[in-house]
Structure 1
Amino acid sequence: MDSQHLLDNLLNVIFLFIPLIIVIVLVLGSLAGLHYFLLAKHGHLSSEQKLLRQVSMLVLTIVGSVVIAMTLPVSESTRNQVIALIGVLLSGVIAFSSTTIVSNLMAGIVLRVNKPFKVGDFIKVDRYSGRVTEMGLLDTEIQTESRELIAFANTLMVNSPVSVTRASGAVVSVELSLGYDLHHSLVERFLIEAAKAAQLSDPFVQVISLGDFSVSYRVSGLLLEVNSLVSARSRLHKAVLDTLHNNDIEIVSPAFVNQRPQIEGSRILAKTPRQNILSTAMADAYSSTVENTPENVIFDKAEQAQQQARTKDSLTQALAEIESQLENAQGENKAELKLKKEKIEETLGELINQKLQDDDVVTTTNRNI
C-alpha cells in the first residue's frame, strides 16, 4: 500500500513536470534554430552587422525565460513572483546601464532604418564637415578635411540638422568682391568662363550684395564627381584668379591705393606663365600634384571604407542570389553554385578581417601618438 501510494505520488510529480519539460525542449530548440539561421549560418557578417542579430537573440532568450517561468509547476502566486523577479532583474540591468548608451543605441537603429546618409558621403553636422567612415549603432565617425577622425554620438546625429552632399552632384561656389568700375555683364562672362575651365557643369553667377566700396559676386557650378569636392573648390579659385588676371581685371580692395600707393595706371596682376618657359622639373611636379589629389590624402579612410562597403554590398547581393538559386538547383549546377557560394563567403571573410586589421592599426597608431 505504501509503495503504491509512493508510486502514485511519483507519477503525479512526473505529470506535473511534463509540460515544463516540453516547453524547455521547445524553447531551447527554437533558440538553437534561430541562432543557426541568424548567426551561425552567416559567418561572413561583420561584428557590427551581427550586433543587431545578437540583440534580437537576447530579447528572444528573455521571452523564452518568461515562457518557461509561466509553465512552472507551482502555485499561481509563486509563478507571478518568479515572473516579477525576472522583470526586476531586467529593470535593474537597464537602470544600472547608462541611459546614454540606450539612447545612442535607439538612435543608431533609427539611422539604419531612415538611412539619411551612408559610408563615404560628405556631411556637415555641428559645425564639422567631412566624409563618413563608419556608421555604428552607438556613434558615427567622419573624417574631416584636416584628416582628423571625429566620432559623433548617434543621438546628436538624430537631434541635430545634418546636411548631406547629394551623390548626383554638388554645387561648388566662390565669392569675391570687385569694384563698381566693372560692369556686371563683363564680370559674369569671365566668371562663367572660369567655372567652365574648372570643369564644372551649368555655371551661373549671382550678385549677392552691393557694398559701400565694391560689388560681391558668387560664381557656382555643378560638380558631378563629388569625391573630388576639395580639389574642385581649389580648382575653381585658381581658375577665377587666372581668368580675371589674364583679362586685366584686378581683385583688390578699393582702399588698396590708400594703404600702398602705386604708380598711376599700374595693376597688381599675377600673369599665367608661358608653357614654353616651364622647366621639366616644374612640369613633373605639376603632373605629380594632379595625380596625387588632396582627397587621396585627406579622406583616405573614408575612401577605403566606401570601397569596402560597396564591395561588401555587391558580394552580399551576389550571395543572396546564389542562395535563392540553390533552392531549385540540382546535380552539377547545384555543386557549382555551392562552390561559388564558398568563394564569395571566403572573400567576404577576408574583407571583414582586413577591415578589423586596419582598425587595429589605426587604434594602435593613435595610442602611440
Structure 2
Amino acid sequence: MDRLLDNAIALAPMITISVVIVGLLLMMNWILLGRHPELGNEKKLPRQLTLLGLTLVGFVIITFMLPVSDAARNQVIGLLGILLSGILAFSSTTFVANFMAGIMLRINRPFNTGDFIRVEEHFGRVSERGLFDTEIQSEHRELIMLPNLYLISRPVVVISKSGAIISSTLSLGYDIHYSRIEALLIDAALAIELKEPFVQVIELGNDAVTYRVSGLLVDVKNMLSTRSMLHRAILDVLHNDAVEIVSPRFVNQRRLDEHVKIIPEVVAKSNIITTSKPEDMLFDKAEKAEQQEASEDNLLNELHALNEQLSTASADEKTKIETHIQQKRQRLDHISEQKEKEKH
C-alpha cells in the first residue's frame, strides 16, 4: 500500500502537468481553428502547423517530467529526435518534398492566385494553389498542374500587377531610315494607349534591320488582347505611311510596275462591336479564383472586426452584430461550396 502511495505521489507532478498541457492544447485548438469554421484549407494550414509545434513542445515538457532516470529520459528524447529525423529524411521523396515545397511557397509568397507566371515553357495565370501542386490556366485555356517542388527548383517569372511591358518585333529593309520607323512604331504604341513607349534596334542583319517596340501596360489582365492590338496598330501605321513590311527576299512572279508597292488596300472599319475580351474566356477559372480569394479575405477581415465589436457592444447591438456575423459566415460557406464544386 505504501509503495502504491509513493508511486502515486511520484506520478502526481507529471499527471498534473499533462492535464494542464492537454487543456492548453485544446484551448489553442479552439482559438486557432474551432472558432473559425469559415477558414478554408489554405488559411488553416499555418494554424495547424502552429498547433503541431505546440504539441511537440508539450510532449517534450511531459517527457522531462517523467519519474525515470536521466538515462531513460534521454532515450525517450533520443527516440523523438530519431522520429523527426526520419520524417525529414523522407522529404527527399516526391510526396513529402512537394508538401515541404508547398509550405515554403506559402511562407515566401512569390505569387498569388490570379497572377501571371512563367516557368520555363509554361505560361498562364495561377488558378489554384494546393499543398502539393499549383494549377495555372494557360493562354489556350488549358489547366496545367505544376508540382510545388518543380516551382521552387526553377526560376519563376511573375508578371507584376503594377504593369507589364508589351513588345512586338519586326524586320524592315535598310532602305528606310530608322528615325522614320521609330516615330511610326511609337505612334502605334500610343494608339493603343501603352505608357512610355520606346523603340530598340535589336539586330543589323544581312538583309534587314530588326526593331522592337515596347510600352507599359497597366492593366496586365489584358496582355494577350493588347499584344494583338499592338500588331494591328503597327500594320496600320506602316501601311498608311507607305512602308513595306515584306521580307527583302520577297519574290513575286507577277510583273509589276517598279512604283507599285505591296500594301493592302485600306478597308472600312468593321461595324461589329466586340464587348468581350479573349482573356475573359481564356483565364476564366483564374479570374474567378482571384475574385473568390479577394472576397474571402475581405469577409474574414470584416468577421474579425465584428468579433472585436461584439465584446464591447451593448445587448441590443450584440443581436445586430451576431446577425451580421451569421450572414458573413453563410457567404464564406457558399464560397467554400463553390470551390469544392469546381474541384469536382
Same fold (TM over 0.5): yes
Q: Hey, what's the Cα distance between the residues in 2 that align with 1:126 and 1:328?
A: 54
Segment drifting more, 91-100 vs 336-345: 91-100
Deviation at 1:95, TM superposition (A): 4.3
Q: TM-score, with normalisation over the residues of structure 1?
A: 0.85
Identity %: 45
Listed as ranges, the matches of 1:41-190 within 5 Å are 41-95=35-89, 99-190=93-184
2:334 equivalent in structure 1: 350
Give a deviation string over 1:145-198, Cα, whole Å, max 9, x none: 122222223333333222221111111111111112222222222222221222
Stretches of 4+ aligned residues off by more than 6 angstroms: none
Listed as ranges, the matches of 1:301-316 within 5 Å are 301-316=285-300
- 8 Å Cα contact 1:209/1:216 also seen in 2: yes
Structure 2: state its 5+ residue gaps.
Answer: none
- 8 Å Cα contact 2:91/2:100 also seen in 1: no
The structure where helix makes up a greater share of residues is 1
Listed as ranges, the matches of 1:323-338 within 5 Å are 323-338=307-322
| RMSD between aligned residues | 2.2
Q: Does 1:40 align with 2:34?
A: yes
- When residues 187 and 82 of structure 1 are mapped into structure 2, their CA distance, relative to the original with a 3 A threshold, is closer
Give a deviation string over 1:1-22, Cα, whole Å, max 9, x none: xxxxx3x333222212211220
Q: Secondary structure at the match of 1:37?
A: helix
Deviation at 1:88, TM superposition (A): 3.7
Select 1:217's aligned residue among 192, 211, 215.
211
- 8 Å Cα contact 2:91/2:97 also seen in 1: no
1:363 equivalent in structure 2: none
- 8 Å Cα contact 2:90/2:96 also seen in 1: no
Select 2:304's aligned residue among 312, 320, 336.
320
- When residues 219 and 31 of structure 1 are mapped into structure 2, their CA distance, relative to the original with a 3 A threshold, is same
Q: Hey, what's the Cα distance between the residues in 1 that align with 2:13 and 2:293?
A: 48
Q: Hey, what's the Cα distance between the residues in 1 that align with 2:253 and 2:323?
A: 77
1:232 equivalent in structure 2: 226
Structure 1: state its 5+ residue gaps.
Answer: 1-5, 361-369
Give a deviation string over 1:247-274, Cα, whole Å, max 9, x none: 22221011113x5454123222223322
Q: Hey, what's the Cα distance between the residues in 2 that align with 1:317 and 1:33?
A: 23
Listed as ranges, the matches of 1:349-368 within 5 Å are 349-360=333-344
Q: TM-score, with normalisation over the residues of structure 2?
A: 0.91
1:263 equivalent in structure 2: 256
Deviation at 1:91, TM superposition (A): 4.1
- When residues 95 and 194 of structure 1 are mapped into structure 2, their CA distance, relative to the original with a 3 A threshold, is closer
